[in-house]
Amino acid sequence: MQYRRLGKAGFDVSIVAVGTWAMGGKEFGRTDDRDSIKAIHRALDLGVTLFDTAPIYGSGRAEEIVGRALLGIRKDVVIATKCGPVEPRPGLLRMDYSPASLAAQVDASLRRLQTDVIDLLQLHWPDPAWPIEDAVGAMARLVQTGKARAIGVSNTQPDELRRALSAGPVASVQEPFSLLNREFERELLPLCRENDLAVLVYEPLARGLLSGKFTPTWRFEPGDVRATDPRFRGPTFRDNLQAADRVAAVARGQGLPAAQAAIAWVLAQPGITTALCGAKTAAQSSENARAADLALDATTLEGLENAAGRSQG
């Protein structure tokens, strides 16, 4: 495992991290908490130190799993969670970025995570109804009170990021980025480099498209978000599967699993700090973590990019 500095936050994190959205058990099919905890423990065994979660992942379930899994070893890991969306009842989301609400949300996360401080508190996504400057200012005050060590933003547009940077000590940005979705590198990634921001990439496997497991006739479990994701429907799904097959062929030529090669490509891009890789089992954690040890040469990196082509991410 390798480690990189989390921007201006002042601490290091593993370049492969565990993303826990699927562990919430709602949006990516059924899960077993015991398997989720085993996935976290296997990642720890392989040197992973960063675990990313959010209150809305399974209505708090993912945070609770992270808290249980990391109990007793808290000082050895970095926990990142988010704030902003609240659930008045399961399945109903609304935004509340008021200072009082953000403080209450963080207190609830601390209880679920069984810790007294959040290492990286992130704004889950901006909302036009709530000025991002005010939200960042409120989050900065939570750092001052000792409930968070650093703050970040997620799912922002360039102008929103600039406004956030003007309002407080933003340390990181979290955005989707993969061989099948390179929108981030057009404007946001250069902006992150200019401002010495850490970059946490999610969906490095494009919600599993680059794992190689899907077929054109794949049927998703009820509630799986991919069932309504345009990337997994109709001609776009077919094109993405063909691109994934080409990527897998390049990886095989180097003796690598497709998923590991795709994650390693992300990690090789200048400015990327860590790849958040979802896992529901220990086996998935193992495969993801091993991508950190790969050093792809320029020819292989170019081959993967050419293979991915113009598919829709």
Residues belonging to the active site: 57
Q: Report the 3 state secondary structure along the chain.
A: CCEEECHHHCCEEECEEEECCHHHCCECECCCHHHHHHHHHHHHHCCCCEEECCCCCCCCHHHHHHHHHHCCCHHHCEEEEEECEEEEECCEEEECCCHHHHHHHHHHHHHHHCCCCEEEEEECCCECCECHHHHHHHHHHHHHCCCEEEEEEECCCHHHHHHHHHHCCEEEEEEECECCECHHHCCHHHHHHHCCCEEEEECCCCCCHHHCCCCCCCCCCCCCHHHCCHHHCHHHHHHHHHHHHHHHHHHHHCCCCHHHHHHHHHHCCCCCCEEEEECCCHHHHHHHHHHHHCCCCHHHHHHHHHHHCCCCC
CB 213 within 8 A of CB 207: no
- Residue 223, both tokens: 């509630």
- Residue 140, both tokens: 């900065």
Q: Dihedral of CA 75/121/269/237: which sign?
A: positive
- Residue 16, both tokens: 């492969």
CB 56 within 8 A of CB 87: yes
